[in-house]
A and B are shown apart, each in its own frame.
Chain A
Amino acid sequence: MAPSGTSTSTSTNSSKGNDVNGVVRNTLLAHGKLITAIEGVTDEADLYDAGLTSMSTVTVMLALEDAFDVEFPETLLSRKTFSSISSIEAALTAFLTPDL
């Protein structure tokens, strides 16, 4: 996975990054079955520590596909991609803006 989206994933001055970040957070809130309140999960925090499971990642991925109206490659479904909000955001950003 190209790391091109990483630089914008945690910054506050990219509206694109913020949209994706917000959608990711809302999706995790609705479908992630986390044991920690989403406001308390930092962008870099380990989502598996927060209670994400391999099966809930499937639900989150389906919801993200629905939210962006795309089909993501299953390479995005790796345990590493779903390890933090910023890594999900980076993967999505790289996929949604492939020419950057």
Chain B
Amino acid sequence: MNRLFELSSTGQHLLELAEKVADEVCAVHAVDVDSAGRFPHEAIAALQEQRLLGAYAPVDLGGYGASITDIAAICHALGQRCSSTAMIFAMHQIQMACLVHHGLDNDALCEEIRMIAEGQQLVASATTELGVGGDVRTSLCAADVGESTFTVRKEASVISYADFAEAILVTARRGNDSASSDQVIALARKDQTTLTPISNWDTLGMRGTCSIGYVLETQGSSQHVLPLPYADISSQTMLPVSHIVWASLWLGIATDAVTRARTFLRTSARKTLDRTPPIASSVAAVFGDLEMIRATVLAAVKQYEATRSDLSTPMSTGDSLRISLLKTSVSVAVRRIVVDCLEICGIAGYRNDTPYSVGRHLRDTHSAALMVHNERILTNMGRLLCVYKED
């Protein structure tokens, strides 16, 4: 399997476990998960068996104490075999990163992290809401935080894999009088939460993520409201980690498409020994394009790891600009690469029953530009560039 990141011995070990799951389980069920639009039970169970769901939790709380680089490497590996599994793993680890980065000072949240890691529980996310036009930094619903409990009722337009998760991180306004941008994020326990489905998930791609909308009603311990404002958690952890793990798994999908195109070339070359197949130059071009994204993702992860050591210092404007645009640039680039691979493989790539099929890759990578729409991010970053002056 294709590798990208330089890993510690722990990371190396975790990647080997993940590659085994990817090759032996994800690869076997990916087509069925996609065609049936069902949750990848087998792959998630295999990740649980290898204790990878709790990987980001500290060792003393039952995890592996993995780094963001380690998590990105796993997403990259899973993405090469099953996009939906990789996306579910990635989204779960984003929630883990929020809890681990911003919850360790709180005993009750530490206990939750321990329960999640030891029980290999899946954590989902309810950040989007009906009526705010997809802007996760705006909430209509408000948390009602009392002495001992908090309650939230949220019309969440999407909560991916909620039916299979045991906890959900939910955003809401800090209180009834708070501005729409003055948000908190809280851990809702599934057994204290009612979920009423309001939509289904029958999509072009990423069909196994089961990203259904729900009305969420929860009551939990007020200790489970993360102390830091969501604005800070978002800018320091949720946004950068999301963009890194997404970019890594999208790269994984594109990498597998390029692998298929390269296999197609080698097969063709063996049939025409005395001349180079005409597609060879296109394969060389797409190989180069893939290399460019690899370098971009690698640089972004390294940069985040360098700043992550001090979470109390907010990310600089330049760093947050770059990490935001990582998502928009990589999402478009992977889609283009898969289209190029389709053109290289021709009808063999277009068919769904050959070793060169890239239809699923094409459909799955189309989600990249649309989930948190690139246009919104580009508009916001364009606004920021009105005052940003550094080179």
> Bound complex: CA of A77 vs CA of B319, how far in Å?
13
Chain A residues with Cβ below 8 Å from B355 are none
Residues in B232-248 with C-beta less than 8 Å from chain A: 232, 235
Chain B residues with Cβ below 8 Å from A45 are none
B389 contacts the other chain (Cβ, under 8 Å)? yes
Chain B residues with Cβ below 8 Å from A72 are 387
> Bound complex: CA of A85 vs CA of B182, how far in Å?
17
Given A79-B235, A79-B314: A74 and B387 within 8 A (CB)? yes
User: CB distance B179 to A50 under 8 Å?
Assistant: yes
Q: Which of B178, B314, B386 contacts A78 (CB 8 A)?
A: B314
Given A73-B389, A79-B231: A58 and B181 within 8 A (CB)? no
> Bound complex: CA of A62 vs CA of B182, how far in Å?
23
Q: Which of A53, A55, A71 contacts B389 (CB 8 A)?
A: A71
B106 contacts the other chain (Cβ, under 8 Å)? no
> Bound complex: CA of A77 vs CA of B316, how far in Å?
9
Interface residues in chain A, defined as those with a beta carbon under 8 Å from any beta carbon in chain B: 34-35, 48-55, 58, 61-62, 65, 71-75, 77-80
> Bound complex: CA of A52 vs CA of B179, how far in Å?
8
User: CB distance B181 to A48 under 8 Å?
Assistant: yes
- Report whether over half of chain A's contact residues are helix, strand or loop; otherwise say mixed: loop
Interface centre among B181, B232, B318 (most CB of A within 10 A): B181
Q: How far is the CB of A56 from chain B (nearest CB, A)?
A: 9
Chain A residues with Cβ below 8 Å from B180 are 51
Given A79-B314, A80-B314: A53 and B386 within 8 A (CB)? no
Chain B residues with Cβ below 8 Å from A50 are 179
Q: How far is the CB of B235 from chain A (nearest CB, A)?
A: 7
Q: Which of A49, A54, A61, A74 contacts B390 (CB 8 A)?
A: A74
User: CB distance B314 to A49 under 8 Å?
Assistant: no
- 17 further A-B contacts with Cβ under 8 Å, apart from A48-B182, A58-B386, A71-B389, are A48-B231, A49-B174, A49-B182, A53-B137, A54-B231, A55-B383, A58-B387, A62-B386, A62-B387, A65-B387, A72-B387, A74-B389, A75-B316, A77-B317, A79-B235, A79-B314, A80-B314
